[in-house]
């Protein structure tokens, strides 16, 4: 849910607030849920409405950035030892670097998609919703949803082939 909200709002923290507001709205209006869709579909529809209205309002303000910590404190237990030791980084370093680069490229490419394509791709391929649920959440016809998904996937494929070559190398 945060991932979808994040594509409409300027920061991760605002996306988390949108998700929290979504849950509160769902709980408040649970008695009016008519069951014409699944609860998941209903919840995502509420999320999209909240994110779409929050995004433009929040972009008016410039957030004050918090300094980044050198090491996340959650990685250590109370005694100061590793809570789980780091993975040995020398194994498959090239694959990890490539995967990280590819992940960043995919995220940037998704963010640059036109909103309808981004919404359909995120709901279908990232969140794993069905075509029917996606159509209901976004108020789309089945054929239009397929076209948007095809175009979004084609753009992503093109970006990855341009950046990494046809074999992904």
Examine residue 156 and state whether it is found in any structural domain, yes or no.
yes
The CATH number assigned to the domain holding 142 equals 1.10.10.10
Instruction: Classify 160 as helix, strand or coil.
Output: helix
CB atoms within 10 A of CB 133: 20
Q: How far apart (Å, rounded) are the C-alpha atoms in residues 131 and 109?
A: 22
Instruction: Classify 16 as helix, strand or coil.
Output: helix
pLDDT of residue 124: 93
Residue-by-residue DSSP string for 59-126:
TTSPPPPPPPPSS-GGGB-TTSSBSSPPPPTTTTHHHHHHHHHHHHHHHHHHHHS-HHHHHHHIIIII
| Spatial contact of 11 and 55, defined as CB atoms under 8 Å apart | no
Domain co-membership, 109 together with 166: yes
Examine residue 161 and state whether it is found in any structural domain, yes or no.
yes
pLDDT of residue 37: 84
pLDDT of residue 92: 63
Examine residue 116 and state whether it is found in any structural domain, yes or no.
yes
pLDDT of residue 88: 59
Which segments of the chain have a pLDDT < 70? Answer: 59-73, 85-96, 166-169
Measure the CA angle with vertex 4, ends 64 and 21; round to 5°: 70
Question: Would you tell me the crossing angle of helices 39-58 and 131-138 to the nearest 10 degrees?
Answer: 50
Instruction: Please say which residue of 58, 77, 92 terminates a domain.
Output: 58
Structural domain containing residue 44: 2-58
| Spatial contact of 46 and 26, defined as CB atoms under 8 Å apart | yes
Domain count, the chain: 2
- The reported pTM is 0.57
Examine residue 65 and state whether it is found in any structural domain, yes or no.
no
Examine residue 144 and state whether it is found in any structural domain, yes or no.
yes
């Amino acid at each position: 849910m945060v991932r979808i909200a994040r594509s409409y709002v300027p920061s991760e923290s605002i996306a988390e607030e949108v998700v929290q507001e979504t849950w509160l709205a769902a709980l408040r209006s649970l008695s009016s849920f008519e069951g014409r869709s699944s609860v998941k579909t209903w919840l995502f529809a509420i999320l999209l409405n909240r994110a779409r209205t929050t995004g433009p309002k929040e972009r008016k303000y410039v957030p004050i950035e918090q300094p980044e910590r050198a090491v996340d404190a959650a990685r250590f237990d109370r005694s100061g030892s590793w809570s789980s030791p780091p993975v040995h980084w020398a194994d498959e370093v090239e694959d990890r670097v490539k995967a990280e680069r590819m992940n960043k490229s995919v995220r940037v490419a998704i963010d640059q998609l036109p909103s309808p394509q981004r919404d359909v791709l995120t709901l279908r391929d990232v969140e794993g919703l069905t075509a029917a649920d996606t159509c209901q959440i976004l108020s789309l016809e089945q054929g239009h949803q397929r076209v948007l998904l095809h175009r979004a996937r084609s753009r992503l494929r093109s970006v990855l082939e341009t950046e990494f070559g046809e074999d992904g190398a």
